[in-house]
Amino acid sequence: MALGKAAMEGVGLNPQRLLVTGHDGYIGTVLVPMLQRRGHTVVGLDSGLFRACAFGAERGSADEVITADVRDVEPAHLDGIDAVLHLAALSNDPLGNLDAEVTEEINHHATVDLAIAAKTAGVSRYLYSSSCSLYGMQGDDALDESAAFNPMTPYGRSKLDGEVNLRALADDEFSPAYLRNATAFGLSPRLRGDLVVNNLTGWAVATGQVYLKSDGTSWRPLTHIEDISRAFIALLEADRNLMHDEAFNVGATAENYRIRDVAEIVAEVVPDSVVTLSDTAFDDPRNYRVNCDKFADRFPDFAPTWTVRAGVEELYRAMVDNELSVETLEGPALMRVDHVKALIAAGVIDTDLRFRHRNGRD
């Protein structure tokens, strides 16, 4: 599937110098080349925590790379930066559950500290990768951006806390925006196996079973990482009055699914695969649908182009080509929480997720 047709193939109207945190992660490795094709210069800032989680071919790198923990950003890192695209975070509930205080430190406090540093440095635009997880347990109605919040996990709460404190910084000179991303899927050089579409497809490819770990009744909004990247580009290049201090559900309203329906799509795409329910399948209380019409109406040239079915087809081809095994899918190469636990066990990082050799603790 094409990255974005005419809207994405042209050069941006105003090439900028950008700081992208988490540039070497699941979304960052897809977003950075898209920004570069628009004519922007990308300074990437990443601790390298997931650098070893490689899958398939690389897509390039940032124009300049700063190897640093987002908690350690210095004013010099923001010299000459026009906008910050802030992706760096502990990126899901299992990681967030390892240590709620560390999750709050990284996802909330570092987000705000970076914004304060950016504002002090004269950076005018700050795009925050938030999450629909802050809606938490809801009913079956599609929620727009005015809906009440009900985060159920440290990850969801940290994303909400980040939004709340960024709003306090918004003024005539500093424009944050909050991208409430739907649950991501899609191919990346830093592929994640802990995302539902990716995981179901991986199980089908590796074993012939579309393996449901929950009972599949919960709703999720789903969106491809290229469409998340296109949303960042839209807000980056938009007139200020269209994005200033605004939250956007990022995805497509039509791409809300019950998990069991995703499993059926995977079974239709992956030959000779069948839906299988785990013996320990549980009723997942995280249940929400979202309405994404605000973004599509405001930025029609950047509206999402991917469907879950097209994403499964993309993943299927790549997983076959790379001979994916269930051991790789469910191991530290693709499961972020297992990767982090392995690094802690090996003494590479401390329990606060800082690299030991950078802390002088060798």
CB atoms within 10 A of CB 68: 17
Q: What is the DSSP letter of 203?
A: H
Beta strands in the chain (DSSP E): 17-21, 41-46, 64-67, 83-86, 125-131, 137-143, 175-181, 183-185, 209-214, 219-224, 246-250, 256-258, 274-282, 287-290
pLDDT of residue 12: 55
Identity of residue 118? A
Reported as type and span, the H/E element at residue 29 is: helix 28-37
CA angle 73, 79, 85 (to 5 degrees): 60
pLDDT of residue 239: 97
Smallest CA-to-CA distance from 132 within 311, 288, 302, 299 is with 288
- In 137-195, which ranges are continuous DSSP H helix? 154-167
SS3 call for 3: coil
pLDDT of residue 139: 79
CA angle 353, 50, 89 (to 5 degrees): 60
CB atoms within 10 A of CB 356: 15
Contact 218, 265 (CB under 8 A): no
**Which residues pair with residue 183 across a beta bridge?**
222
Give the C-alpha distances (Å, rounded to integers) separating 345 from 92, 190, 338, 339, 356. Answer: 20, 22, 10, 10, 12
Reported as type and span, the H/E element at residue 353 is: none
Tokens at 281, concatenated: 């399948």
pLDDT of residue 325: 98
pLDDT of residue 2: 38
pLDDT of residue 226: 98
Tokens at 325, concatenated: 């095994």
pLDDT of residue 148: 95
Whole-angstrom distance, CA of residue 296 vs CA of residue 281: 35
DSSP string for residues in 89-122: S--SHHHHHH-HHHHIIIIIIHHHHHHHHHHHTT
Ranges of the chain with pLDDT below 50? 1-7, 9, 360-362
Q: Give the predicted TM-score (pTM) of the model.
A: 0.94
Q: What is the DSSP letter of 148?
A: P
- Which domains can be identified in the chain, with CATH numbers? 17-192+224-253+288-306+345-358 (3.40.50.720)
